[in-house]
Amino acid sequence: MYVVTAATGQLGRLVVRHLLDRVPADRVAVVVRDPAKAADLADRGVAIRTADHDDAESLVGVFGPGDRVLLVSGNEFGIRVAQHAAVVDAAKAAGVALLAYTGILGGPNTRFLVADDHHVTERLIQDSGVPYTFLRNGWYTENYTARLPGVPAGGTILGSAAPDSRLATAARTDYAEAAAIVLTGPGHEYATYELAGDTAWTLAEYADVVTRLSGTPVAYRALPAAEYARALRAAGLPEPMIPVFADTEAAIARGELATTTGHLADLLGRPTTPLADSVTAALNP
């Protein structure tokens, strides 16, 4: 079986969609907390396995011998390493054939808060002895374009990284398709893929693309770190996440999310989704 954890999340759902393009539904299983949220998948013949990553006992029996599993990394800072560890332990006990994990572009070379839990999880997986594949995802283009419907009217995109800071983003569906390819294809055991878009664009270039495609002048404005933190607070971002966002901006300024390796396009067998295509899709939902 091909098994996807966190399968009702944004990335997980896309992975399942790409899996169903490649294999019959009765070969696919999903691990979810709330089966009601996966009712549409059950209707298509996907097996629903209910478990909570916060409850290690609930993961007993969720995986089977020979399963090929995708562990979609959690997004709850402070507890996600324990969640990941519970999944790794369950996968090891079950004797899965492969455990693929969605980490962060650059792996141990990255030095920002978002990356720390990924470093720990990769070591846990390596120490487990389970055959693995590391899918080190770069930034999603949607991290920027998801905010676009309200940007052209305001005319300003805020950050604290310099306007010439670069990011090699790809569309979420690109990363999801790559995960499905790895799960269903041979020869990926013990491989590490540094996944990113084909082109690293600057934040100034991003504003120019939005301007051209929206027909409304849009500028990128780099704020001092303290002022950016105040802007995040005023926008209602939860206080514990403000240092995380600010730290990520510093990593972007250092170029830690600008690496272009070609690994993603190689796996896909096609170019990654261009920035302009993602912007167009966001402006015309």
Query: Residues 156-192: pLDDT tens digits?
Result: 999 999 999 999 999 999 999 999 999 999 999 999 9
What homologous superfamily is domain 2-141+171-195 in, according to CATH? Answer: NAD(P)-binding Rossmann-like Domain (3.40.50.720)
**Which residues does 269 contact at the CB level (< 8 Å), separation at least 6?**
none
pLDDT at 269: 98
Query: Residues 242-260: pLDDT tens digits?
Result: 999 999 999 999 999 999 9
3-state secondary structure of 263: helix
Q: Of 284, 275, 47, 30, whose CA–CA distance to 143 is shortest?
A: 275
pLDDT at 182: 98
pLDDT at 124: 98
Query: Residues 136-151: pLDDT tens digits?
Result: 999 999 999 998 887 8
Cβ atoms < 10 Å from Cβ of 87: 27
- Taking the CA atoms of 181, 16, 113 and 202 in sequence, report the sign of the dihedral they define: positive
The letter for the amino acid at 141 is T
pLDDT at 218: 94
Q: Of 45, 48, 74, whose CA–CA distance to 62 is shortest?
A: 48
Cβ atoms of residues 11 and 175 within 8 Å: yes
Query: Residues 89-124: pLDDT tens digits?
Result: 999 999 999 999 999 999 999 999 999 999 999 999
Percent over 90 (pLDDT), the chain: 93
pLDDT at 78: 82
pLDDT at 86: 97
Cβ atoms of residues 228 and 168 within 8 Å: no
Cβ atoms of residues 200 and 260 within 8 Å: yes
What rounded mean pLDDT belongs to the chain? Answer: 95
For 209-238, what is the mean pLDDT? 93
Reading phi first (left if > 0) and then psi (alpha if -120 to 50, else beta), residue 100 is in beta
Q: Is the pLDDT of residue 128 over 90?
A: yes
Cβ atoms of residues 178 and 264 within 8 Å: yes
pLDDT at 249: 95
